[in-house]
Amino acid sequence: MKTTLSLALGTALALILSGCSDTDTSQVAESVPETPTETVMTTDPAENNPFFVESPLYMHYPQFDKIKNEHYLPAFERGMEEQLAEIDAITNQAEAPTFDNTLIPMEESGQLLNRAARVFFAMTSANTNDELESIRSEMAPKFSAHNDRIRLNAELFARIQALYDERDTLELDPESYRLIEETHKDFVRAGAQLSDADKETLKAMNAELASLQTQFSQNVLNEVNASAVVVDSREELEGMSETSIEAAAEAAKEKDMEGKYLIALLNTSQQPPLTDLKDRALRQRIMEASLARGSRGGEFDNREILTRVVKIRAERAQLMGYPNHAAYGLENQTARTTEAVNERLASLAPPAAANAKREAADIQAIIDAEGGDFQLASWDWNFYAEKVRMQRYNFDAAQLRPYFEMNNVLEKGVFYAAEQVFGITFKERKDLPVYQEDVRVFEVFEADGSTLALFLMDPYARPSKRGGAWMNAYVSQSLLMENKPVVANHLNITKPTSADEPTLMTFDEVTTMFHEFGHALHGMFSNVKYPEFSDTSVPRDFVEYPSQVNEMWSTWPTILENYAVHYETGEPMPQELLDKVLETRKFNQGYSTTEYLAASLLDQKWHQLTPEEVPTAEGLLDFEHTTLQEAGVALDTVPPRYRSTYFSHIVGGYSAGYYAYIWSEVLDADTVEWFKENGGLTRENGDHFRQTLLSRGGAEDAMTLFKNFRGAEPDIQPLLDRRGLN
């Protein structure tokens, strides 16, 4: 997943307004603001703010060793003032609007605000604390108001409109021409053409949404921590690895529960321990705790917040002239319409559910054969699915972990694949400061030895870090700003309690590491002029495509052979086990597809409602059940990947957009076929992918980029084959 940081004005406000969700689609680069010399010389702590000048570190890498909580508010306040002054300078000039006196200074505006916001929202996701969360709550409506002051500025829009009307006569290069079109569209979609009265209504809606989205995301993190399951005895944890048991003991000790065990939850409905735990009653406790999050009453209950968010979005969409929020959001995606998304999801749901039911029957047969006097439940699925896997393939997923030591996977897997496909190399930099001791920094080099980017890896879970996995950019590539990218990946792997103990990964975690690095490559390979188009500034239903493609290399034989070695002996994974890894890739696809589609269908249903159709908070769970039942995916054994009350994606940047993963996977599966048809892992293929697509960011239409790469329209058949949905 990607984390959005910007909009066309050189600010990080899109992330702010999206509620800091798990996906990032538009990033903006930074440049040196004209800061008076005396600002640096003063002894006033507020003036010695590391955000007030561009970072002097290599490639403007953030000064994590100097940044403190008290620096954010002054930076935000001054940053907003500076940007508004920059916008006033554009609108107050006597000269008629030109590309150079209007669009260029807009792209260059807001650099101080951008610097501070990029780091701030990275920290509230990766290493937050109460003070940062308080600042986030305070600033959310202020950021919304700041954004509206720019996007609803009539004088500024008049200049943009004039350039838009004259664009065909301006003799612009294609990227500059697109900048005019996209900026005009952004302003129109932000409400620039509304009446003054409607603009005031819109501002109030945006401010309330910003506060609600912030509160929702804070509740999700707090509820994850509050819902951790306390276990009294080690015997109940039978089946879990020693590393996981020790981590649970340490987590309990940190909460002053010496002698007990604390099982932390991830944000998804299913939880990793459910694969291993033999104690069915404990499995049930964990699953029920997971599913109840945000809807069990108490201070972190999200039902009221979610229904209010959905209603305001529906009202706002109608104010803007759209039937519902989904119609508004999808207009700007490659899918374009709710009809297209509904058709795609409806076509995939029946075969996915049918596959899941067949898988459930296989699992029930195992339960019955073992003398289990119970019917399969959601908390049993992962545990018994592994038994089915063992029976069918004589293969236990736990056998893989000794071959997936984390550093090996990163350096001899993820990095090695990038070296083979794209010719880039990596060197660790220990001289640059980090915000947390486990974070590692690498300089990335082109084949000719020149520097391409800086890359940060933050691998471990901790209470201060939100769930999931994501990428963000601290500095985005831009030829206009003369910036090279500084990007980061974040995972949530359990850290061993002992420094001497290796971090052994599951195969899902390995795949996730390759996936997130696909986002990082998309950011590092960016080669565009304008911040508006930098990095992963592409539609939501396109942004996951390059990252999903990069998952291909996790099981590519020559790559897998290079990193899948036993952490103790150094022996390669046996060929028989290697073959089984590849053989079982379609295993359990009915379950995984159904849980994903269930979440996607919920997202669409919520955002295709009119204001009058939005249920009450008390009716939220009934609404969920009815939606899944009508779609044919209401399986008690297969809960949606996220229930609405902890579905951070759709309250943030993926509203009406969670379908994007399956939409992107059509392109991904077809791209994998292209690589296979053209010789597989070769530099020639990698360079073609990079030059035609990965380097272009949003500088061209997304589907045009795909066709430039593939030479044809996308074909859905490879996806159907991959997921067994034929």
Q: 408: how many CB neighbours lie within 10 A of its CB?
A: 22
Distances (CA, A) of 192 to 178, 202, 318, 649: 19, 10, 15, 27
Cα–Cα distance between 276 and 382 in angstroms, integer? Answer: 8
Own/partner long-range contacts of 719-722 (Cβ < 8 Å, ≥24 apart): 719/662, 719/665, 719/666, 719/668, 719/669, 719/670, 721/669, 722/585, 722/586, 722/589, 722/665, 722/669
Surface-to-core class of residue 99, CB atoms within 10 Å of its CB (0-12 exposed, 13-18 middle, 19+ buried): middle
Torsions phi, psi for 470 (to 5 deg): -160, 170
Helix axes 415-422, 683-692, angle to 10 degrees: 90
- Spatial separation of the C-alpha atoms in residues 338 and 344, rounded to whole Å: 10
Catalytic entry in 386, 516, 544, 595: 516
Distance CA 20, CA 701 (A): 25
Nearest to 21 by CA among 665, 703, 702, 642: 642
For 408, residues 6+ apart whose C-beta sits below 8 A from its C-beta are 563, 565, 567
Strands of the 470-475 sheet, one edge to the other: 425-428, 440-445, 451-460, 486-493, 470-475
- Neighbouring-strand partners of residue 483: 478
Distance of CA 424 to the CA centre of its chain: 24
**Torsion angle in degrees (nearest 10) through CA of 142, 147, 148, 153:** 130
Are 436 and 458 in contact by the 8 Å Cβ rule? The answer is yes
97 DSSP 8-state letter = P
Q: Amino acid letter at 392?
A: R
Tokens standing for residue 610: 């009119």
Dihedral sign from CA coordinates of 420, 423, 426, 432: negative
* C-alpha span between 61 and 471 (Å, rounded): 16
Whole-angstrom distance, CA of residue 587 vs CA of residue 576: 17
Q: Is 576 known to be catalytic?
A: no
Exposure letters 541-561 (e unless 16+ CB within 10 A, then b): bbbbbbbbbbbbbbbbeebbe
Burial per residue of 163-172, b for 16 or more beta-carbon CB atoms within 10 angstroms, e otherwise:
bbeebeeeeb
Structure tokens at 16: 């702010």
Distance CA 178, CA 538 (A): 13
CB neighbour list of residue 500: distance below 8 Å, 6 or more residues apart: none
Mapping DSSP onto H, E and C, the string for 325-372 reads: HHHHHHCCCCCCCHHHHHHHHHHHHHHHHHHHHHHHHHHHHHHHHCCC
Active-site amino acid positions = 516
